């Protein structure tokens, strides 16, 4: 770098919350989040590492040299290089407030019950704060928009939005507004009585204002260079001397390349401060945009131009806005330069197809000259562009559109907001009036997602020139489009038929838009009223809804809507998760060496190169596990059966399977060295899907059967309907894909070896402390009592940390014992998704018999197949629960179900909210729809006819009592106005051709208890101290569901003391031993009863003293009891009574009780794109008398949203040739976002019901509402059916779960979809498959 004569800096200077941080010899590769967390700012969380979840959001304040002012924007700190923040100010969650003095932004999120597990909360708070900081008059719309780069897996988003909108400006004069006294809007910086949010540092302002342009400097470390030019001229000079240097502005693409593709760039040029290249100039014939303008600023400037210029001139600008408004999240748009988007040459770029269609011209410069390049000539191949290494893109010219030039742009993705495109397109068509005709003078159609780069359709464009614009001419273009973009059945990206269909559908949309515009000057082009809804995308209104519940009016804490006990700590970033814990002395970090194939023999493992790498301490493998003996092999583990190796030795059975660990002095060195371990394999054939396993007869040995009525001659019973009452039968296949847990905190563990007696302490993010304790002892060859597992909280679990969290802790324990030092690891998002398993995919063949009116008589599910993965894990219990729930809420007299587990070469699938129950209920709703379609009746009529009644018996021989299904149904049918709305939907569908609505009313019934009887027990400890304060411990873990809050309420209620007088620190196995996993939704039931038992013991001891001294306060009573030597500690215990089910005989009680609910959901679909929007959902749940109704409402909403995701947009995809999980991370795997929830979301807890089989007459709530979210899928199905009816297609059709945009569009089966059909040839495999 000497040739540049640029000052080399030795210090990086960043201000964080107005405090200066000095980094000596900064590393150009280090991210901002890494630096922040090293310096103790652990409130900023790492959720994905790719800018896709928003948990790492901070606010960055920088100086704009053009406008001479400080600007603020939200940033993903996981992508922002630390070096890019030199001389800038970073505000983290810690800078807003603390748990004892909340900032109002933190306060509204906490008090609105907007934080459950809390891991995503700091990022959400910072996004909201930044919006308010940069927008002095925020509206409810702008506040909703502020969250489009943030994800939450727990809450269902509604409470966050509801709280955040309290800070919006209603538009009234604040001085005279009638709601002034209750309004939250006001001085954003007001922090408390005397304190303020840390301001932009004065010394930074002084430093920047004395400079005329940014400072030029270089950072260098370990051969990596970070160059910060001061001007465009210096940038060009640097590029001339170092032509292969990588230019970065926001690092939103390069950061992904380095992290996930192992790209290496020794020289970075950071252009983020070059204001001179961020301007937009308005010229006579168009605009020139500086190449470094960010997407956010471009949106703002183009919006201003669209408002100020003649409308026809800005059609192209509007097309740009239409596509980029869904470009990534706000944090990405704030820093991503358009030059990066263009030069990256992504095949699925949102921007490039629009620029191609508009005839944009690029200006590129080098130190030796300037070139102009038309966008149609810029892309040369996959990620290849017409740019010399020494050249820099400096500006983009976009011409104004002419009066008869029409432009539009379209994009379709899995999820509308913050998602990469499946297909993008842009169209430009210039017409010329010749006589009575409008002739095509010129056209340019461009597509992304249809080839290796942004394509323009040469044949189609050539065909159109000179043609009279008409519908018939456009119809002739459809086959030409497919010739221009000849996707093969095996093309990368998959979804071939869908992509080809979209290409045609977008052209049809464009044609209709042009006709609509022309109709303003020529009435002959007026389109039919039924087609007008296609002119614009489905508009989403503001989220709103009503939450209905009754708080208890009785004294005591139970039944009160108390805010989550840790909410204040979560909104301030003070809540501690495993990776937030301070480093232990001499602590090491471990990185997993995982299999790179999905099935094969291990020939050799060579860690020698890794052991030479910087900072590496050791390689850990099977050789370091306790030795095997005649009775057991400590390397063999498993949730139920010991059928998994902790460290693979001779064989690997799925990609990512752990072979060993590299242990080093820090995470960076450990991960780099792990890639150097050489493993040689002999590959073997692999199976991934249920279908492949069935064909290969690859099953686990244990099967399950349930037979009742006529299918069980030995115990026929006395069914109300004989089997021959079934005068009709239908048969079909139902398939549902997997679902990734996507808890925001990935699996993490810290293992600390004791100094004596082989003691081991494990700090783990696990739902199962006891199993963690037991297997750590097992692999170390020591007794359980030498191991203590401690769990403070989890950043989400949902079943994914019930058993699959254990192997990581075990491996770290082996390393810690070997080295005598603490060892930590937190999985990256992609590691976690690859190895932790998912919800089980299911495949089932059903045959159903029913009467002429639709009364169910018989059900045969032979066979129900579940894809277990490579080991048993908890799959047998998942299969069992699916089989007990395949009736959903319907009585069926004669049942024959046969269940099998498919053995495949994917990571072992595991527990997930509902634990097989939702899959069973999905089978039920598929065959109920089949019956309804067969009989030509509304499915709601068939559902209502078959609802369980009190005293009826399930197919697993369990009588059910206190059934509130019909009451639920009737109340919701009325409150949701279902009948009238169903008629309105029919009318809407009659008058709209390309938009269809669907509505459904659907019940659920969920059984509560562990199906493994021995797990239905709990212990708890209660300590009353002499000052009257109480400390409790129980066996459950807090993962956002509010368990600890409810337990505190139960104890406070029992002792009749304030909630604040009871404290719970953490879950630990040396206080509560032999705990069951926090799972099956029964943790409140079990642990609450155990705590109640402990409280009753203490109260019984205090009773004589109370009777003698009725006027004593609690504190005086306790103090007196101590003086009287009365034991103020108690160990409580509870076991669920009467559970006795036997699978061999199909007799006994399976569950303690059932939770019931009904949902009504209405959706709208775009039949041309497959897009959908959930317009409204109403949910009514019977959950007894809630211990905390606000927390339970949150659980209902969160479960519903997860169920909606499972049934509509979430679908893991694997490579059928390698077994590689293609959908790793939020970039390719999409969970619902803030704007995916129902626009109107009404949730009510049924009044006046009690449950005598649970604590305080409550009912479990974690899992039962999940399947209510699937009502979205069946409402979509109803809408698709209306679209199919327009095509003359009647009757039943198969719709697999999830109902993705692809399945919606293709299921409409119009001519465009049929033309796009592209079958696989013999022996071919698609790019990706759902397993």
**Model pLDDT for residues 23-79, shown as the tens digit of each residue:** 999 999 999 999 999 999 999 999 999 999 999 999 999 999 999 999 999 999 999
Does residue 447 surpass a pLDDT of 80? yes
Quickly tell me which residue has 């992904």 as its tokens: 256
Q: Is 772 left (phi over 0), alpha (psi -120 to 50) or beta?
A: alpha
pLDDT digits (tens, 9 = 90+) for 1194-1234: 999 999 999 999 999 999 999 999 999 999 999 999 999 99
Is residue 1030 within 8 Å of residue 1051, measured between CB atoms? yes
- For strands 1172-1182 and 1240-1245, give the pairing: parallel
Q: Are residues 1001 and 972 in contact, defined by beta-carbon separation less than 8 angstroms?
A: yes
Using 50, 70 and 90 to split pLDDT, how confident is the model at 350? very high
Mean pLDDT score of the chain, rounded to an integer? 95
Least confident interval from 249-263, 501-515, 1019-1033, 1270-1284: 249-263
Residue 264 has pLDDT above 90, yes or no: no
- Predicted local confidence at residue 716, as pLDDT: 65
Q: What is the pLDDT of residue 256?
A: 81
- Catalytic residue from among 830, 973, 1263, 1302: 1263
pLDDT in tens, 1115-1156: 999 999 999 999 999 999 999 999 999 999 999 999 999 999
Chain-centroid distance of CA 137 in Å reads: 30
Q: Which helix (H) or strand (E) holds 922?
A: helix 917-935
- What is the rounded (10 degree) CA torsion for 1065, 1070, 1071, 1072? 110
Residue 192 pLDDT exceeds 80? no
Q: Report the pLDDT value the prediction gives residue 188, as an integer from 0 to 100.
A: 58
578 DSSP assignment: G
73 Cβ contact partners less than 8 Å away, ≥ 6 residues apart: 59, 60, 130, 134, 296, 334, 335
Two tokens, residue 102: 């909340």
Indicate whether 458 pLDDT > 50.
yes
The closest of 485, 481, 484 to 493, measured between CA atoms, is 485
In the annotation, is 1263 catalytic?
yes
pLDDT in tens, 745-777: 999 999 999 999 999 999 999 999 999 999 999
Backbone angles phi, psi at 710, to 5 degrees: -65, -20
Q: With cut-offs at 50, 70 and 90, classify the pLDDT of residue 4.
A: low
Concatenated DSSP letters of 1051-1111? HHHHHT--GGGEEE--EETTTS-SPPPS-TT-HHHHHHHHHHHHHHHHHHHHHHHHHH-TT
SS3 591: strand
Q: What is the pLDDT of residue 193?
A: 34
Give the integer Cα–Cα distance in Å for 67 and 44. 30
């Amino acid at each position: 770098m000497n040739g540049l004569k640029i000052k080399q800096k030795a210090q990086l200077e960043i201000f964080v919350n107005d405090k200066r941080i000095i980094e000596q010899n900064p590393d150009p590769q280090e991210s901002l989040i890494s630096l922040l967390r090293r310096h103790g700012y652990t409130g900023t969380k790492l959720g994905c590492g790719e800018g896709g979840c928003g948990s790492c959001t901070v606010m960055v304040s920088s100086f704009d040299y053009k406008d001479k002012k400080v600007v603020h924007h939200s940033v993903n700190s996981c992508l922002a290089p630390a070096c890019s923040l030199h001389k800038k100010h970073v505000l983290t969650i810690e800078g807003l407030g603390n748990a004892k003095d909340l900032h109002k932004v933190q306060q509204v999120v906490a008090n609105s019950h907007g934080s459950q597990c809390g891991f995503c909360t700091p990022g959400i708070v910072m996004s909201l704060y930044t919006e308010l900081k940069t927008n002095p008059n925020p509206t409810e719309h702008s506040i909703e928009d502020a969250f489009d780069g943030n994800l939450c897996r727990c809450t269902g988003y509604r409470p966050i939005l509801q709280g955040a909108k309290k800070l919006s400006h209603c538009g009234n004069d604040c001085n005279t507004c009638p709601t002034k006294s209750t309004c939250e809007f006001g001085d954003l910086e007001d922090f408390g009585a005397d304190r303020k949010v840390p301001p932009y540092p004065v010394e930074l302002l002084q430093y920047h204002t004395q400079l005329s342009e940014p400072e030029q400097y270089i950072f260098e470390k370990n051969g990596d260079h970070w160059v910060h030019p001061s001007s465009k001229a210096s940038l060009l000079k640097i590029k001339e001397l170092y032509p292969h240097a990588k230019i970065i502005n926001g690092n939103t693409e390069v950061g992904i390349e380095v992290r996930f593709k192992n790209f290496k760039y020794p020289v970075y040029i950071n252009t983020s401060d070059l204001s001179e290249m961020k301007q937009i100039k308005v010229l006579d014939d168009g605009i020139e945009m500086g190449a470094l303008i960010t997407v956010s600023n471009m949106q703002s400037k183009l919006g201003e131009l669209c408002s100020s210029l003649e409308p026809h001139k800005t059609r192209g600008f509007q097309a740009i806005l239409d596509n980029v408004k869904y470009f990534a999240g706000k944090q990405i748009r704030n820093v991503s330069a358009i030059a990066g988007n263009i030069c990256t040459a992504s095949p699925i770029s949102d921007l490039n197809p629009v620029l191609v269609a508009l005839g944009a011209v690029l200006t590129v410069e080098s130190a030796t000259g300037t070139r102009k390049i038309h966008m149609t000539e810029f892309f040369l191949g996959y990620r290849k562009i017409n740019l010399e290494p020494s050249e820099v893109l400096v500006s983009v010219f976009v011409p104004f559109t002419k009066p008869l030039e029409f432009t539009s742009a379209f994009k379709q993705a899995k999820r509308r907001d913050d998602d990469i495109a499946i297909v993008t397109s842009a169209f430009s068509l210039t017409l010329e009036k010749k006589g009575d005709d409008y002739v095509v003078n010129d056209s340019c159609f461009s597509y992304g997602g249809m080839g290796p780069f942004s394509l323009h359709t040469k044949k189609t464009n050539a065909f159109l020139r000179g043609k009279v614009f008409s519908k018939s001419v456009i119809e002739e273009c459809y086959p030409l489009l497919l010739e221009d973009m000849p996707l093969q059945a095996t093309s990368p990206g998959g979804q071939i038929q869908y992509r080809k269909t979209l290409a045609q559908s977008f052209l049809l949309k464009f044609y209709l838009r042009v006709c609509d515009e022309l109709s303003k000057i020529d009435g002959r082009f007026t389109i039919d009223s039924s087609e007008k809804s296609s002119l614009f995308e489905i508009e989403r209104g503001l989220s709103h809804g009503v939450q209905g519940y009754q708080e208890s009016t009785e004294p005591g804490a139970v039944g009160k809507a108390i805010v989550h006990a840790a909410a204040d700590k979560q909104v301030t970033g003070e809540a501690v998760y495993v990776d937030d814990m301070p480093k232990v002395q001499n602590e090491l970090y471990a990185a997993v060496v995982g299999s790179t194939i999905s099935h094969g023999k291990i020939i050799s493992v060579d860690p020698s190169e890794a052991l030479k790498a910087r900072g590496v301490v050791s390689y850990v493998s099977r050789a370091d596990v306790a030795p095997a003996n005649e009775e057991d092999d400590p390397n063999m583990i498993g949730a139920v059966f010991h059928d998994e190796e902790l460290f693979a030795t001779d064989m690997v059975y799925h990609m990512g399977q752990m072979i060993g660990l590299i242990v080093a002095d820090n995470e960076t060195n450990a991960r780099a060295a792990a890639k150097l371990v050489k493993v040689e394999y002999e590959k073997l054939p692999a199976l991934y899907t249920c279908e492949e396993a069935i064909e290969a007869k690859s099953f686990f040995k244990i099967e399950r059967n349930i037979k009742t009525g006529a299918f069980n001659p030995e115990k026929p019973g006395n069914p109300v309907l004989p089997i021959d009452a079934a005068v009709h039968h239908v048969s079909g296949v139902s398939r549902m894909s997997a679902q990734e847990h996507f808890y925001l905190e990935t699996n993490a563990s810290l293992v600390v070896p004791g100094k004596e007696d082989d003691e081991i302490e494990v700090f783990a993010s696990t739902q199962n402390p006891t199993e963690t304790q037991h297997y750590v002892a097992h692999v170390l060859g020591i007794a359980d009592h030498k191991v203590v597992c401690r769990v403070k909280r989890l950043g989400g679990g949902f079943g994914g940390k019930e058993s699959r969290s254990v192997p990581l802790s075990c491996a770290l324990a082996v390393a810690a014992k070997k080295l005598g030092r603490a060892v930590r690891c937190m999985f990256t998002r992609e590691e976690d998704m690859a190895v932790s398993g998912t919800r089980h995919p299911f495949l089932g063949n059903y045959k159903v018999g029913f009467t002429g009116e639709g009364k169910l008589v018989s059900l045969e599910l032979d066979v129900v197949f579940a894809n277990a993965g490579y080991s048993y894990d908890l799959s047998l219990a998942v299969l069992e629960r699916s089989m007990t729930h395949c009736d959903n809420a319907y009585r069926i007299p004669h049942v024959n179900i046969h269940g099998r587990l498919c053995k495949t070469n994917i990571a072992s699938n595991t527990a997930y909210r509902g634990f097989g129950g939702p899959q069973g209920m999905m089978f039920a709703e598929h065959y109920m729809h089949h019956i309804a379609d067969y009989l030509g009746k509304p499915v709601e009529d068939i559902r209502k006819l078959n609802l369980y009644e009190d005293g009826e018996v399930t197919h697993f021989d369990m009588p059910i009592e206190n059934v509130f299904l019909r009451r639920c149904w009737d109340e919701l049918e009325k409150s949701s106005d279902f009948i009238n709305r169903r008629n309105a939907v029919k009318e809407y569908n009659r008058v709209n051709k390309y938009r269809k609505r669907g509505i459904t009313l659907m019940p659920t019934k969920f059984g509560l208890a562990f199906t493994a009887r021995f797990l239905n027990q709990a212990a708890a400890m209660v300590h009353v101290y002499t000052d009257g304060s109480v400390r409790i411990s129980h066996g459950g873990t807090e993962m956002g569901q509010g368990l600890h809050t409810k337990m505190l309420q139960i104890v406070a209620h029992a002792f009749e003391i304030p909630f604040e007088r009871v404290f719970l620190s953490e879950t630990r196995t040396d206080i509560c031993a032999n705990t069951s996993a926090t799972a099956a939704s029964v943790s409140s039931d079990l642990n609450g009863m155990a705590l109640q038992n402990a409280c009753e013991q203490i109260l019984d001891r205090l009773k004589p003293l109370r009777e003698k001294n009725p006027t004593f306060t609690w504190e005086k009573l306790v103090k007196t009891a101590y003086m009287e030597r009365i034991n103020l500690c108690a160990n409580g215990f509870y076991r669920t009574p009467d559970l006795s089910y036997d699978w061999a005989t199909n007799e006994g009680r399976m569950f303690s009780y059932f939770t019931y609910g009904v949902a009504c959901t209405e959706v709208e679909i775009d039949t041309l794109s497959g897009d959908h929007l959930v317009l409204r959902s109403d949910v009514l749940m019977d959950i007894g008398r809630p211990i905390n109704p606000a927390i339970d409402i949150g659980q209902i909403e969160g479960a519903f949203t997860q169920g909606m995701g499972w049934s509509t947009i979430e679908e893991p995809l694997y490579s059928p040739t390698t077994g590689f999980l293609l959908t790793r991370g939020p970039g390719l795997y999409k969970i619902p976002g803030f704007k995916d929830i129902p626009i109107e979301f009404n949730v009510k807890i049924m009044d006046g019901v009690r449950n005598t089989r649970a604590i305080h007459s409550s009912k479990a709530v974690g899992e039962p509402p999940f399947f209510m979210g699937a009502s979205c899928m069946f409402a979509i199905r109803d809408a698709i059916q209306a679209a199919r009816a327009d095509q003359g297609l009647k009757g039943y059709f198969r719709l697999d779960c999830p109902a993705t945009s692809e399945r919606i569009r293709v299921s409409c089966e119009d001519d465009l979809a049929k033309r796009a059909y592209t079958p696989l040839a013999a022996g071919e495999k698609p790019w990706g498959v759902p397993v």
